[in-house]
A = this chain, B = another copy of it.
Amino acid sequence: MSGTRFVHLVDTTLRDGSHAISHQYTAEQIAAIAAGLDEAGVEYIEVSHGDGLAGSSINYGWSAISEEEMLTAAAGAIKNGILTVLLLPGIGTQEDLEMAIHCGARAVRVATHVTEADIAEQHIGMARKMGLQAFGFLMMSHMAPPEKVVEQAKLFESYGADVVYVADSAGAMLPEEVKARVGAVVDAVRVPVGFHAHNNLTLATANSLAALEAGASYLDGTCRGLGAGAGNCQIEALVGVLEKTGFQTGVDFYKIMDVAEDLVEPVMHRPQVVRNAPFMLGYAGVYGSFLLHAYRAAEKFSLDPRDILVELGKRGMVGGQEDMIIDVAYQLAQKRGGA
């Protein structure tokens, strides 16, 4: 690993972190945290509903305030950083993006499932036309082999993405798996490559280092690791580790530690620890939305919910297939009965 390479950091405390507080950030909290991150020198400050622009809904959970109020609060607090938004095609629209630009957003991360980059072509094009930096963001990347991730990353690049991200949305990857995917993408595209870690397997920081080793130059994190389940990569710790390793981030390590402890920690609903349920999501490599269904099905068929999650992971089931979980449990119970 090079000792003087620069690593671009994206703080997503005010986007992915919002899952952990049921999207209840107030404008005051957003302004204070965004100002702190900006003052600490964070380059990209992502602010949106946890599921991206227009995520606030009965489906994904209502935000405490409108996206416009969130972005306005952040934009007013940021002097040097780049206000960034997340957009999932199918949830966010062109109008949402226009609103975000109007509020001061200067970069957008367009996120799709790892096999569905093609649904993002228009959104990347639109973002570029509107003068935004556009990131292509491949979610649940552990579900596709490196060659598939490469194919999809190249699609993003062909649409004009400025940066392509490999996202370990389920926190399911081991360092070697991160290296395989990130390394393959780095070799295949000309644009910079990023990596987004989750901590389900207690490997978020290590996986971020593995991504750098494989050639990535953008990393994500949240203060205190704030995020759904096991949470994200703890950004203030990442900054310290990168500094100890010899990388440059432009972030003041003490200042971002203080943002985490003085501003973010008081907002948290619960400590960000790795309990059994989120660990199992990472171990099985499945969606968080599967959890409750698996527990219900386990009760119905007297199974261990962990066996159901592992089976769902083996079958590569994706979000939207929750209704099939009961069938999988039934089959597992039949198999158990016959054994």
List chain A positions with a Cβ less than 8 A from chain B: 174-175, 201-206, 209, 224, 234, 236-238, 240-241, 244-245, 254, 257-258, 260-261, 265, 271-276, 279, 283, 304, 306
Shortest CB distance A208–B (Å)? 10
Contacts of A203 in B (CB 8 A): 205-206, 241
Supposing A260-B276, A276-B257, A306-B254 touch, asked if A174 and B234 sit within 8 A by C-beta, the answer is no
Give the oligomeric copy count: 2
Contacts of A306 in B (CB 8 A): 254
Q: Which of B175, B204, B304 contacts A209 (CB 8 A)?
A: B175
In the complex the two chains form, is B202's CB within 8 Å of A237's CB?
yes
Shortest CB distance A203–B (Å)? 6
Shortest CB distance A108–B (Å)? 29
21 contacts between A and B (CB under 8 A): A174-B241, A175-B206, A175-B209, A201-B205, A201-B237, A202-B204, A202-B237, A203-B206, A203-B241, A206-B209, A224-B273, A236-B276, A237-B279, A240-B279, A240-B283, A258-B276, A260-B276, A261-B276, A265-B275, A271-B273, A273-B273
In the complex the two chains form, is A201's CB within 8 Å of B241's CB?
yes
Residue picked from A174, A238, A260, A306, most chain B C-beta under 10 Å: A174
